[in-house]
């Protein structure tokens, strides 16, 4: 974890480029995680701290606070929906329109096989804006902007609309790893602005596509 690429750095924040498959927290199952290497990122006695989290299978921009005051400010910005986050996802098929909004509440459900999130009327409000960036070969590249921060929100919303993400073992096809990237992150009121490169497994799925910058 010590050699994770740094996409942005100043005296208060870092943005790391988290690879797909690396957990942010160890959790009950243990194993390597981003938290293991945080101490190596600062010489201060306290911190650093993760300002938010990404699913293990999601690659891209992960914000780290180097000072406690910076952490509290970032957490407040996330809670108020002020942080500008854009994700890229490769999906099977794709929507008929070029852009739109998915407004579908999400509820955590459990059965004998485990838990997952599902679109249910009694769930918590969940809103995702989307637009198509490119199409081809029976798949599409979408830009997704979550307006709420529910667990697995982007994955469930895409699957519910009929275009699941490639490699989504819970809500779609298992082959090739999850094709979801936290592409960019901007923290208002600071200079924090970062963009993550497209990882190799997503580039392979987008071979021949005319990709935006």
- State yes or no: pLDDT of 213 exceeds 90: no
Active site residues: 55
What region, left, alpha or beta, does residue 177 occupy, with left being phi > 0 and alpha being psi -120 to 50 degrees? left
**Which carries the bigger pLDDT value, residue 208 or residue 58?**
58
* pLDDT tens sequence across 30-79: 789 998 888 888 877 788 999 999 999 999 999 999 999 999 999 999 99
CB distance 134 to 89 below 8 Å? no
**Is the model's pLDDT at 173 over the cut of 80?**
no
**Higher pLDDT among residues 42 and 136, named by residue:** 136
C-alpha closest to that of 181 among 81, 100, 86, 84: 86
Q: Class for domain 6-197, per CATH?
A: alpha beta
Q: What is the mean pLDDT of residues 181-193?
A: 97
Strand runs labelled E in the chain: 6-9, 13-18, 49-50, 59-65, 84-92, 99-103, 106-111, 114-119, 127-136, 139-146, 180-186, 193-195
pLDDT of amino acid 97 = 97
């Amino acid at each position: 974890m010590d050699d994770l690429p740094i996409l942005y750095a100043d005296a208060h924040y870092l943005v790391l480029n988290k690879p797909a498959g690396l957990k942010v927290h160890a959790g009950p199952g243990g194993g390597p995680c981003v938290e293991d290497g945080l101490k190596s990122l600062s010489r201060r006695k306290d911190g650093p701290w993760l300002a938010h989290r990404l699913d293990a299978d999601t690659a891209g921009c992960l914000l780290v606070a180097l000072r406690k005051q910076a952490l509290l400010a970032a957490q407040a910005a996330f809670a108020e929906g002020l942080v500008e986050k854009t994700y890229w996802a490769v999906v099977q098929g794709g929507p008929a329109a070029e852009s739109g909004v998915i407004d579908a509440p999400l509820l955590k459900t459990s059965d004998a096989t485990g838990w997952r999130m599902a679109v249910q009327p009694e769930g918590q409000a969940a809103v995702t804006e989307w637009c198509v960036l490119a199409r081809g070969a029976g798949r599409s590249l979408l830009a997704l902007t979550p307006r709420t921060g529910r667990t697995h929100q982007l994955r469930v919303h895409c699957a519910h609309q009929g275009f699941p993400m490639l490699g989504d073992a819970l809500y779609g096809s298992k082959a090739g790893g999850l094709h979801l990237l936290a592409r960019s992150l901007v923290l208002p009121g600071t200079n924090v602005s970062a963009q993550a490169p497209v990882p190799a497994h997503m580039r392979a799925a987008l071979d021949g596509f005319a990709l935006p910058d």
